[in-house]
A and B are shown apart, each in its own frame.
Chain A
Amino acid sequence: MSEINNVLRVENVTMQFGGVVAVNNLSMEVNEGEIVALIGPNGAGKTTAFNVITGVYAPTNGRVCFNETCIVRNHPTGKMKKAYKGEHPTLYTAQAAPEETLSDEALETWKDQRKALDPYAFSDHVLTPTPDKITQLGMARTFQNIRLWKSQSVFNNVLIAMHMRRTSNLFTAAFHLNGKEERAQREKVLELLRVVGLEDVKDELATSLPYGKQRRLEIARALATEPTLLLLDEPAAGMNPQETLELADFIKEIRTKFHKTVLLIEHHMDLVMGIADRIYVLDFGKLIAQGVPAEIQSNERVIDAYLGVADDAEN
């Protein structure tokens, strides 16, 4: 029997900005080799969830584990504690207890299991590494609003993403004594560009590319950091149906050829239903449904969230 490896595990993550709860008690899992999609209406908190996972925000509560190492962990303090406790009386401590009431013994066992994975579970310890450290561990992302380096060429945009994997230090690099490593990395960049089909425009300014190609460039750039998990934030935004199909094939290729795991946020339902193994649905920061595409398509709560019919009918 093959072991299912948890590449990413999001546990009871809440992100609160003052009075606004952007992500409310979200728990998700992504297993090795899967393509998982996070969908939901605009403003549901999907990008915020991404930002918590990649270390841009420190969550108000909860934790994120990557390949069984806890990388992000927090629990509410000060004013947040009060505000959070009101809504989640049992969850405002460092680690959420399971929903059902357990006997004291069972609870202790459960706690010990947690502590084995994360020595700081149930403590006040806050863990919020900077995004670059999380990328070093093997997680890379693209952005909802394309964030390419505008003054640089297509080639350089990908080359810069390889900077963090260098073994040369400042002096060897500054005096150009690292020729071998430089050449090897440039080769890899060319290969990546070939894979995404941008080789012929490699010396063009990154922003001179059409929108769809810029998105592909962002993906190539993320791949250059040699990640295990790829997070794509609306990769098909602004693409026409043809481009979306090509993107779908490409994402599948990322899984099979590059052996990466993919978590994506997307609005294009065809893309999502076509390539996702599992789907999580967010609405107003809360997880309202999860499952395989077929289940989600027929889920009433999901349909309501997108169309808002049931809410109005109830009023």
Chain B
Amino acid sequence: MQEMLPYLINGISVGGQYALIAIGYTLVYGILRLINFAHGDVFMVAGLIMVYTSTSMPIYLSLPVVIAATVALGFLIERFAYKPLRTAPRMSLMISAIGVSYLIQNLAFYITGGVPQPVTNMIPWISENVTVLGASTKRVTLVTPVLTIVLVIVLVLLIKKTKIGMAMRAAARDFETAQLMGIKINSVISATFVIGSFLAAIGAMLYFTNYPSVAIGSGGMPGLKAFVAAVFGGIGSIPGAVVGAFLIGLCEEVIKGLGYTTFSDAFTFALLIIVLCVKPTGLFGEKVTDKV
């Protein structure tokens, strides 16, 4: 058990980071019924921006810049790649998302030359080493779950208690009727992407403090895993996405700890397929019936 401890701790931490990304997926899917393939790449770009800004400006400046830039990116993607296709068939929208993901990865490759960018100036305090129950780890692994839960609580309150939150829930329920009822659907959708990107930025800052190297493909796997977490928890359900994310993070690390590193990724996909075949609506999801 003692050998598994660092893996378990890391699992909770990674789970928290996946959760922050997963919320972005589940929010967007709930309203637009779109799997935002580019979300993982937005996460990766946040990491890159963190690398560049942390070397060229003081830390208390670079963090807000990372957040602002990531939010802007998410907003722009929605505005230019998804909004024009809102009336197009679902496949076109998905293809656009794939295209954006492709574009971001290729641009990142061009700019970085394909070389993984090391995080040289880490965020202070959370990147310090601490000892927990005999295992040595970075403080970020303890901060992440706490921060994640705090942010999730804030988000759930926002959705339940504020006007914009209610608008989001209405749009997720019935997109067209929400529009007819006078809800400014564009603002709602933009807000969704802003929130998702904001959380992804925080997730990136935490994740890349833990794994201090940003490669072009760094967004791919965490993104996909976060998506699986969202599906597992019930797409459209925030608590579900969070539960799913922690579960996946833990299992992934445990599998690594048991020695089957090549299969830690495959496990996530196997879980996805089992969920889709057994209970596609996920843990907390709702069934939707189509009218004939």
Chain A residues with a Cβ under 8 A of chain B? 17, 47, 51, 56, 143
Contacts and interface: CB of A to CB of B under 8 A. Distances in A.
A235 to B, nearest CB: 17
A20 B194 CA distance: 38
B55 to A, nearest CB: 55
A56 B290 CA distance: 11
Interface residues of B, number: 2
A143 B292 CA distance: 9
5 contacts: A17-B289, A47-B292, A51-B292, A56-B292, A143-B292
The secondary-structure label for the interface of chain A is mixed
A17 B288 CA distance: 12
Interface of B: 289, 292
A47 B292 CA distance: 9
Nearest to B287: A18
Contacts of A56: 292
| A-B pairs with lowest CB-CB distance, top 4 | A56-B292, A51-B292, A17-B289, A47-B292
Contacts of B292: 47, 51, 56, 143
B91 to A, nearest CB: 14
Nearest to A143: B292
A189 B292 CA distance: 27
A135 to B, nearest CB: 14
A310 to B, nearest CB: 31
Nearest to A131: B292
B21 to A, nearest CB: 34
A170 B292 CA distance: 30
Contacts of A143: 292
Contacts of B289: 17
Nearest to A56: B292
A51 B255 CA distance: 48
A108 B8 CA distance: 65
A78 to B, nearest CB: 15
A56 B289 CA distance: 12
A142 to B, nearest CB: 12
A42 to B, nearest CB: 14
A143 B291 CA distance: 12
A47 B291 CA distance: 10
Contacts of A51: 292
Contacts of A17: 289
Nearest to A54: B292
A51 B289 CA distance: 14
A129 to B, nearest CB: 16
A143 to B, nearest CB: 8
Contacts of A47: 292
A169 B94 CA distance: 35
Nearest to B289: A17
Nearest to A57: B292
Nearest to A48: B292
A51 B290 CA distance: 12
B89 to A, nearest CB: 11
B188 to A, nearest CB: 27
A56 B292 CA distance: 8
A294 B289 CA distance: 39
B187 to A, nearest CB: 32
A18 B289 CA distance: 11
A127 to B, nearest CB: 20
Nearest to A47: B292
A218 to B, nearest CB: 15
A234 to B, nearest CB: 14
A51 B292 CA distance: 8
A265 to B, nearest CB: 13
A171 B132 CA distance: 66
B233 to A, nearest CB: 23
A17 B289 CA distance: 10
A128 B292 CA distance: 17
A21 to B, nearest CB: 15
B38 to A, nearest CB: 30
A51 B291 CA distance: 10
A17 B292 CA distance: 14
